[in-house]
Amino acid sequence: MIYPRRVLTLAIEATNPNIPTPGVLLARDGRVLAEKALVSQGRHDDLLLPAISDVLGECGATPRDLDDILVSIGPGGFTATRLACVAAAMLAEVGGARMLAVPTAVVGWRSSLTDKEEARSVVVALASKGEQSFITCFGGDNAHARQLGRSIGADAFRAMLTHHDVLLDDGRLPDSFETAATESGVTRAALRLSASGLLASREFASLVDAGDLRPIYPREPDAVTQWRARHGRAPGDS
């Protein structure tokens, strides 16, 4: 991959704290200068901003020195993904860095497979809930997603697996999906998410205005559903 010269990039992968290995890193021209894992001991741990401060401090840099901020935008945990996007947007606004957004499925693909394996056709499953899972498909030959991510049921998932070689998932697929995967004979691999995988996904990033950065949510967040049930409308609706 060819990087612009002298570009200082901060990469933030913090969407799914329960999937190995979330973290942040600082790189110049694609070479990692400092990296910090996000290892939570509890759901309310505040790790992201201290980790960003650590990698910047280790390199003697400040937010104003950043040229690019790469952020994984989901789907993932509602709070974790939202905080990652807010932190990235805030730093971009403060320092004037370019804001580059990457779907988390792409990060999982680049974090989990070797260069040889990336040439195979891959299905990435994220954010499973009930009888739905958010599925993104990748073709071979280092191609980007052939089918944009969407939430589907087990029957569509089963049909999709017949055309792909590898399934990456977090081990939390619904039972119906597990049955489909077993019967298909598809090769299974553990899903990983890392800041280095995010950095390797740079070519698939979308340049967005920091104020327009939005997480990918496969369904209405539970907090919004609960609010709607209590108040008869979504937050912000008039």
Q: Domain holding 33: CATH number?
A: 3.30.420.40
- Here the tokens at position 163 are 């055309």
Looking at the structure, do residues 82 and 28 belong to the same domain, yes or no?
yes
Arithmetic mean of pLDDT, 115-136: 87
Q: What is the value of pTM for the model shown?
A: 0.88
Q: Does the pLDDT value for residue 148 go beyond 70?
A: no
197: nearest Cα among 92, 115, 112, 78: 112
- The reply to whether 31 and 70 lie within a common domain is yes
127 and 202 inside one domain: no
Q: What was the pLDDT predicted at 1? A: 43
Q: Tokens in use for 188? A: 């299974």
Residue 114's pLDDT band (cuts 50, 70, 90): confident
β-bridge mates for residue 228, sequence order: none
112-149 per-residue burial string, b: 16 or more CB within 10 A, e: under 16: bbeeeebeeebbbbbbbeeebbbbbbbbeeeeebeeeb
Work out how many domains the chain is built from and give that number.
2
Indicate the DSSP class of residue 112: H
Do 121 and 83 share a structural domain?
no
* DSSP state letters, 140-154: STT--EEEEEEEE-H
How many Å apart are CA 124 and CA 27, to the nearest integer?
Answer: 26
Say if 236 falls within a structural domain: no
Query: Is there a contact between 199 and 22 (Cβ–Cβ < 8 Å)?
Result: no
H helix or E strand, kind and range, residue 206: strand 206-208
Which residue in this structure is represented by tokens 């052939």?
146
Phi, psi of 98 (to 5 degrees): -75, 145
Segments forming the whole domain that contains residue 133: 115-190
pLDDT, residue 42, reads: 58
Query: Does residue 110 belong to any structural domain of this protein?
Result: no
Asked if 165 contacts 187 with a C-beta cutoff of 8 angstroms, the reply is yes
In a domain, residue 95? The reply is yes
Which two three-digit tokens encode residue 119? 């040439």
- Domain identity same for 101 and 197: yes
**pLDDT at residue 113, as a whole number:** 83
14 and 99: one domain? yes
Question: Stretch 118-141: mean pLDDT, rounded?
Answer: 87
Average pLDDT over residues 127-156: 81
Cβ burial, residue 98 (10 Å; 0-12/13-18/19+):
middle
For residues 93 and 124, membership in a common domain is answered with no
In a domain, 80, yes or no: yes
Residue 34 lies in a domain: yes
DSSP, collapsed to helix, strand or coil, labels residue 199 as helix
User: What value does the mean pLDDT take over residues 92-107?
Assistant: 96
**Average pLDDT across the chain, whole number:** 88
pLDDT tens per residue, range 42-99? 554 589 999 999 999 999 999 999 999 999 999 999 889 999 999 999 999 999 999 9
CB–CB of 89/83 below 8 Å? no
Render 75-105 in DSSP notation, one character per residue. SS-HHHHHHHHHHHHHHHHHH--EEEEE-HH
Gap between the Cα atoms of 121 and 141, Å rounded: 8
Cα 208 to Cα 95: distance, rounded to the nearest angstrom: 15
The pLDDT confidence band at residue 226, using thresholds 50, 70 and 90, is confident
Tokens of 76: 């993932």
Say if residue 179 is in the same domain as residue 197. no
Instruction: Give yes or no: residues 151 and 225 share one domain.
Output: no
In a domain, residue 1? The reply is no
Tokens at residue 125, please?
A: 């499953």
Query: Do 21 and 119 reside in the same domain of the chain?
Result: no
Q: Is residue 78 included in any domain, yes or no?
A: yes
Is 203 in the same domain as 178? Answer: no
Mark whether 67 and 177 lie in a shared domain: no
Does residue 119 lie within any of the structural domains? Answer: yes
